[in-house]
Structure 1
């Protein structure tokens, strides 16, 4: 490394060797001098990074700087006659350090010869403490050669570290002995080393759900990150005894272009990691939300002019880089695996046909020139894989041929009836549909076949609702559709599985899934634009006209069912009638239910739950019931009110409650109570009121099928009633999924809150009982006590901003619609604003989508009338004071 930096390095990076040599041996003063030298060098390195100095020079330069500081401390503090070798390992051993990288040291001690100096342990302890006080963040181990051998034999990670060890001080005899004892063929022969490192990588990838497309990816440890590049280098060094990636070119594993791409991706990840360390001020390896705007700006994107689009463009660049790294990692590791098959029992080999054969369990193109002569084989390969599930994968040489011949997938290829027929046949395959589409995406074939799909590859959305990039989400939708088709995960997809059984041509759903988000990021309505793309593609396929039309309709309306079920009152027949006007028939409805289920479940692992499933199923059943009736027999609000009353009476009658008693209790309820409460809720609330010994009354029940609990609050109404309830729900950190807030004509609340525990699912009995007890006490006291302010969690801070508030007349009342980022205490803050403005809450609809809430409140003034214009302005100002939070690039350090 010293030779690489040259003789001017000390001056260039602000190191004064004379000053370092003159530092006193006192540990405190020595640490202070080393820290000052490090800070000066770091400032110089940072300035050079900002001015565009090659990142390769900088990561090596910082390692060189810290090496000089460690050697300075070593010379000052370690004065013993015993033989010692001071070695750098890990990234320090490779000579690659970023602004806050750890400093990994190995101190080798002799196990024979003279007795160790009794001061050695204390000297080493002082050395490490000085390095810590100088903010060099050392990680160290002190071992004999034999101890290194034992550790390396037991742990492939230790063996890897030792393989990268480099002498800093000492004779080097111990290091040489250690390397002789641990390098091949002494320990970890190449095949075993390769297998162990592959298992290690698989375990590491599993921690990140085996996808590069996490919203806050780890650029060091995650799939497609720097560890995957190091994995290639480690295996190359261990198996081929070459320390450079270019050695893979010389051995035919990489082309010059692939090598250049690999180095360019490494340089980008190094630049990104350097910037991330500087932005975070620590050894941060995750692209956390709070850093993404500043990182986008650092990489030249206009965050002020483009807003979230700048972050999305920056992250797309990262994801595409990570995808290229992951692709090369996969192909090279497979190449190594094939190389290491020599001397092992071979897997099956056989000819499939004249174009393809199985070679040691992997698919291989028989003639390396075949793609040029018959480009359609680029599509047929994936069909062959789906027809032969025994094949382990594609040979590395064939994967390279696919990548090298992507240029053949041109407009003529895309219009080729034979290619399109094979693609359709793949979608109709009884097995491996998702696996082959995912493989097509990894190899770049899917994006070449559907250019619009290439545009969404690596495209993220800067929010907390969409956890994956658009292409990964799309593939996960198809994976969910396959699981539903095969009857898997029944506990998650019970209703969708039953419905899918009635769908004859499942390829319609797979095509709709491929196109449903394909126009994301293009501007305009992505559903409409995606429908246009779908129309152009499916009209080229050998599909029945009704199936082509259904694909296009599903793409255009893929959000209809989720929006209706979650944002509107599906107990209102007007809402259901409006929904079926767009659906029109049962076939569309069946397909839409299954697609919507797969779509929501692929948006975020935490988004799909029994509650969402129940909402979709309730809307589905209401739509089926309405579709089966003649238009003139379809329910309106009056008939729906009558049906709810009648069903409620029947439920109560089974428990012996006379109709006259029920009717008497209902006489004070407004008509909308019979629209907002279903028959089961109405009967439960009525039974509870009838049995009550006094007010206030708070009761609860659990609904395991929906994965929720319900709380019923019956009390004398007062201005702060909703605020009291909201405060306690917020304080207990319960998720409010929906609220039916109803005030009777005689001034009593009939409020039903649907809740989920913070960890998901119904409340524990003990928590529900405690909630009921506390609410009963507080409602009796009619005391509105605001929650103390709580900090916005770190994860939410980048998404805070101006709430969307719309206040408008609604008949004789006023409707308040709000959309904002959810956070602790939000519902309580809204309730407090209503109390401060002396506004009466008559009805509420709560909807939460990931971290976004969209709530609708029906309110009046104290006299039951619509709010005046001035009252509306006052209410909006108060709500904004409670809800608006300026987004910040800095964070308070609060954890999520």
Structure 2
């Protein structure tokens, strides 16, 4: 227990009582006296909080702060109670029926109170409540509420407490931590005894299983990983609540008052106790910073507070790493330590209770044999044959995880504890050991799920020791709003996804990769490329190029040939290329495909790169992958494969002719005359015929014919493509400069996110523009009311009845608060080599509502014609690519013109909210 120094500097109860006596001596009317009394308590609370905050700011000790906060509230509640009893509702000599005990329960009962935490109080009465009880309880509660405190309360007798604790796990847990606060102590002692004898006795197994099930449910709700980049300090996996769960179980089973008593009972080591205390103190400190910084009971460590808390806790920037990244890495390592303690304590508790193991975290398989591959079976789990097994044979640490994976066994926490103690024995000798590397590659490419073994190895610290380069990315955060997990967690999830692809579990979401993965020549190459693709993140430089160097060093150690090593290195170096081309280039442009094929060179590399790309993207976060991205990757793969396999020998003219012939056939079936068909075919320029499939050509033909027949100035049609999770919006109207910009603005007003666009001007001067849009969650924009509103807004904008600047101004500041943490320097890249016919503009900047409208309006001002747009958003960062021509239909090549375009676009990329923040700072 942390000792509280200079208690009277926090609150001097005697001085407060004397001041209250002075108020009573004034003989004021009751309502006026109450306001004076409340003022006295408020001053005492404010003074105490100020003192505690000053101590925290100076020492940064969360463990001390939660104790001091608890001490302050204890003294206030006692003083309020005494004033109520002595001055407000004096009752002379009270009978035994009017006894009252104030009991702290829950976290307050543990004597832990964060700055903004609730106070949980139990007003304990004898069998029957009296009017006097109700008066006292009501006075205390209203006084505390009026002080601004958040109080959870109940008024019960011992009978009620015992009965309800048996029925309700939450009440039972709260009473488990009960602490006498004030009033009748005998009443409290009676409740304590009844709770132990009537509730706790004989129910240990049920309580433990219920608490662990409750924990698993909580983990599932929080994402079931401790490595999310905005973790919950209290409820998240590896957070304070997990430590509380261990304490509750220990207290319930062994009646301890502090975790150190478990050492005396021989249940945990002194080292484990130190790790528990250290982890708890760190998490308390972080939580106190959160509460003080936000001024509310906030437990989520969001991006917008991470930098400031890192600064306050002394994590400064260093070469190659930012202070906030170092702070978060420490946080995740603490969370990992909490997981280690959980496994160890559960196993030791099982052993002590001498019952069948029910505290296991994974699926177990019962073996009748006593040993497996040199390890013994202990409660259906793999354990060391002897305590010195790893000392004598360090390679056995690798074999332990291999054996567990291949035999579907869990590893006994005692074995994991021995692994933890012997980690330093995994040295260069073990790393170069032929058997160790063979076992590792066997795990990596196992037909069982390799993610399971790799995750256990990572949790135990073995993976980082066996592959030190991987150890550098353990708990390494990626400080942006796009990535959800730490680098190691992302990699492990990618391994699991690759296994799911190979097992056919993702046939619907990723049909092509699920098929071609069975054609790859080397599974070792594929699985190693996924393991190593992000291994150089967090270093100075391009992580893809640096990662390729790591692959060249590691793969020979793992037994790969020179050719296989070179392929792994190439895959790591190019692991972002396929997504970049698919999402940011016009794959209808023949040069795009030709350049990609030249880079990839072989069908085998193409297959490997597709599988790696799909696993990588799906492992970024739960909402990153969607059907639209899958469709683009699939199309790029199939077109590239066709060229590599000798297809697509026909020239552009023959493809145009083939597209027109196919459309002609469909329209003849629909009853069109030859004259009408010829007239329609004459409207399309060559790029129109090569840019869409026959089904789309048919829809366009019907749309144009209907518009011409009705003389409609504007036609808007939508088609939901649920397979690709996108909605196709087609607009047919008179072409004019700035049309794309106006439509983009209308979509921003309607909350539709454009992910791709093709801009077509027909020979009759009409625009036939197609936009693919999604909702804010990355799904198809398919709500009928939203689609109706979108059509209406487009019509209002194009008719001049809606002012976009005014409408968008109201949406400018609607980014999440944490998005403003991230600064994305605006960048304009102009490329005249990627396409034979167009100039490419790649624009990078921080996302905001209406950004696409601002960019396209700038292009209009610069006299550019937009042919297609490819919109990608990575958290707070956008990467938009436009294929453009000048007003003469040519590439933009004049240097002065290029400078003008660059200047206009950089100006449009500037974030007005950043400008206003900077101006305010000045």
Is TM more than 0.5 here?
yes
Aligned-pair CA distance for 1:564: 0.8
- Match runs of 1:121-132 below 5 Å: 121-132=134-145
Go from structure 1 to structure 2 and tell me whether the alpha carbon gap of 1:551 and 1:277 turns closer, same or farther (over 3 Å shift). same
Give CA-to-partner distance per residue, 1:681-703, whole Å, 9 cap, x none: 34432332123222212112222
Structure 1 SS opposite 2:717 = strand
Aligned-pair CA distance for 1:301: 3.1
- Aligned counterpart for 2:387 among listed residues 362, 368, 371: 368
Aligned-pair CA distance for 1:401: 0.7
State how far apart, in whole Å, the 2-side matches of 1:121 and 1:590 are.
75
Give CA-to-partner distance per residue, 1:389-419, whole Å, 9 cap, x none: 2x3x222211111111111110000000011
Matched, 1:690 2:705: yes
- Aligned counterpart for 1:232 among listed residues 246, 249, 259: 246
Partner residue in 2 for 1:825:
850
- Aligned counterpart for 2:7 among listed residues 4, 9, 14: 9
Partner residue in 2 for 1:740:
758
Aligned-pair CA distance for 1:331: 2.0
Structure 1 SS opposite 2:843 = strand
Go from structure 1 to structure 2 and tell me whether the alpha carbon gap of 1:337 and 1:833 turns closer, same or farther (over 3 Å shift). farther
Structure 1 SS opposite 2:534 = coil
Moved more, 525-534 or 246-255: 246-255
State how far apart, in whole Å, the 2-side matches of 1:812 and 1:575 are.
11
Aligned-pair CA distance for 1:472: 0.3
Matched, 1:38 2:56: no
State how far apart, in whole Å, the 2-side matches of 1:540 and 1:147 are.
67
Quick check: 1:458–1:469 contact (8 Å CA) kept in 2? Answer: yes
Aligned-pair CA distance for 1:432: 3.4
Partner residue in 2 for 1:102:
118
State how far apart, in whole Å, the 1-side matches of 2:646 and 2:307 are.
54
Aligned-pair CA distance for 1:504: 5.4
Matched, 1:70 2:84: no
Aligned-pair CA distance for 1:743: 3.2
Moved more, 590-599 or 855-864: 855-864
Go from structure 1 to structure 2 and tell me whether the alpha carbon gap of 1:302 and 1:4 turns closer, same or farther (over 3 Å shift). closer
- Aligned counterpart for 1:468 among listed residues 473, 482, 485: 485
Alpha-carbon RMSD: 3.1
Partner residue in 1 for 2:287:
273
Partner residue in 1 for 2:508:
491
Structure 2 SS opposite 1:97 = coil
Moved more, 550-559 or 75-84: 75-84
- Match runs of 1:647-662 below 5 Å: 648-649=663-664, 652=667, 655=670, 657=672, 661-662=676-677
Matched, 1:705 2:726: no
Matched, 1:91 2:116: no
Go from structure 1 to structure 2 and tell me whether the alpha carbon gap of 1:123 and 1:246 turns closer, same or farther (over 3 Å shift). closer
Give CA-to-partner distance per residue, 1:799-820, whole Å, 9 cap, x none: 3554334568899987643222
- Match runs of 1:831-870 below 5 Å: 831=856, 833=858, 837=861, 839=863, 841-851=865-875, 852-857=877-882, 868=897
- Match runs of 1:257-296 below 5 Å: 257-296=271-310
Moved more, 599-608 or 845-854: 845-854
Partner residue in 1 for 2:602:
585
State how far apart, in whole Å, the 1-side matches of 2:424 and 2:321 are.
33
- Aligned counterpart for 1:875 among listed residues 904, 909, 920: 904
Quick check: 1:355–1:367 contact (8 Å CA) kept in 2? Answer: no
Quick check: 2:357–2:379 contact (8 Å CA) kept in 1? Answer: no
Give CA-to-partner distance per residue, 1:840-860, whole Å, 9 cap, x none: 543341322343322234567
Go from structure 1 to structure 2 and tell me whether the alpha carbon gap of 1:734 and 1:97 turns closer, same or farther (over 3 Å shift). same
Structure 1 SS opposite 2:123 = strand
Quick check: 1:10–1:17 contact (8 Å CA) kept in 2? Answer: no
Partner residue in 2 for 1:894:
none
State how far apart, in whole Å, the 2-side matches of 1:156 and 1:331 are.
24
Give CA-to-partner distance per residue, 1:757-800, whole Å, 9 cap, x none: 33413513454344334434543457543324222222422235
State how far apart, in whole Å, the 2-side matches of 1:151 and 1:886 are.
58
Aligned-pair CA distance for 1:314: 1.6
- Match runs of 1:233-632 below 5 Å: 233-302=247-316, 309-342=322-355, 350-353=369-372, 355-389=374-408, 391=409, 393-503=410-520, 505-629=522-646
Go from structure 1 to structure 2 and tell me whether the alpha carbon gap of 1:168 and 1:214 turns closer, same or farther (over 3 Å shift). same
State how far apart, in whole Å, the 2-side matches of 1:673 and 1:344 are.
67
Give CA-to-partner distance per residue, 1:54-96, whole Å, 9 cap, x none: 4433321121011111111112224453111001112211111
Matched, 1:22 2:22: no
5+ unaligned residues in a row in structure 2: which ranges? 25-32, 359-363
Structure 1 SS opposite 2:881 = strand
Go from structure 1 to structure 2 and tell me whether the alpha carbon gap of 1:478 and 1:886 turns closer, same or farther (over 3 Å shift). farther
Aligned-pair CA distance for 1:199: 0.9
Go from structure 1 to structure 2 and tell me whether the alpha carbon gap of 1:455 and 1:639 turns closer, same or farther (over 3 Å shift). farther
- Aligned counterpart for 2:186 among listed residues 173, 176, 187: 173
5+ unaligned residues in a row in structure 1: which ranges? 892-896
Give CA-to-partner distance per residue, 1:2-39, whole Å, 9 cap, x none: x9436x4113x254632344234744333332222222
Structure 2 SS opposite 1:104 = strand
Aligned-pair CA distance for 1:198: 0.8
State how far apart, in whole Å, the 1-side matches of 2:447 and 2:898 are.
62
Quick check: 1:830–1:882 contact (8 Å CA) kept in 2? Answer: no
Give CA-to-partner distance per residue, 1:174-228, whole Å, 9 cap, x none: 2222222222564362222211111111111111121011121101111111111
Go from structure 1 to structure 2 and tell me whether the alpha carbon gap of 1:344 and 1:857 turns closer, same or farther (over 3 Å shift). closer
State how far apart, in whole Å, the 2-side matches of 1:242 and 1:520 are.
45
Go from structure 1 to structure 2 and tell me whether the alpha carbon gap of 1:184 and 1:217 turns closer, same or farther (over 3 Å shift). farther
Go from structure 1 to structure 2 and tell me whether the alpha carbon gap of 1:796 and 1:514 turns closer, same or farther (over 3 Å shift). same
Go from structure 1 to structure 2 and tell me whether the alpha carbon gap of 1:383 and 1:870 turns closer, same or farther (over 3 Å shift). closer
Quick check: 2:62–2:286 contact (8 Å CA) kept in 1? Answer: no
Give CA-to-partner distance per residue, 1:268-313, whole Å, 9 cap, x none: 111111111111111111101111111111122346x889833222
Matched, 1:201 2:198: no
Go from structure 1 to structure 2 and tell me whether the alpha carbon gap of 1:833 and 1:145 turns closer, same or farther (over 3 Å shift). farther
Give CA-to-partner distance per residue, 1:129-182, whole Å, 9 cap, x none: 221221222221111112111221122222121111111111222222222222
Partner residue in 2 for 1:214:
228
Aligned length: 878
Quick check: 2:394–2:425 contact (8 Å CA) kept in 1? Answer: yes
Partner residue in 1 for 2:237:
223
Give CA-to-partner distance per residue, 1:469-494, whole Å, 9 cap, x none: 00000000001011111111433232
Moved more, 194-203 or 757-766: 757-766
Moved more, 365-374 or 717-726: 717-726
Aligned-pair CA distance for 1:353: 4.1
Quick check: 2:585–2:870 contact (8 Å CA) kept in 1? Answer: no
State how far apart, in whole Å, the 1-side matches of 2:131 and 2:8 are.
36
Aligned-pair CA distance for 1:122: 4.1
State how far apart, in whole Å, the 1-side matches of 2:660 and 2:578 are.
27
State how far apart, in whole Å, the 2-side matches of 1:327 and 1:640 are.
62
Partner residue in 2 for 1:789:
810
Partner residue in 1 for 2:30:
none
Partner residue in 1 for 2:29:
none
Aligned-pair CA distance for 1:328: 1.3
Go from structure 1 to structure 2 and tell me whether the alpha carbon gap of 1:413 and 1:808 turns closer, same or farther (over 3 Å shift). closer
Structure 2 SS opposite 1:492 = coil
Go from structure 1 to structure 2 and tell me whether the alpha carbon gap of 1:663 and 1:820 turns closer, same or farther (over 3 Å shift). farther
Aligned-pair CA distance for 1:440: 0.7
State how far apart, in whole Å, the 2-side matches of 1:318 and 1:769 are.
48
Aligned-pair CA distance for 1:51: 1.8
- Aligned counterpart for 2:735 among listed residues 705, 711, 717: 717
Quick check: 1:420–1:541 contact (8 Å CA) kept in 2? Answer: yes
Aligned-pair CA distance for 1:457: 0.7
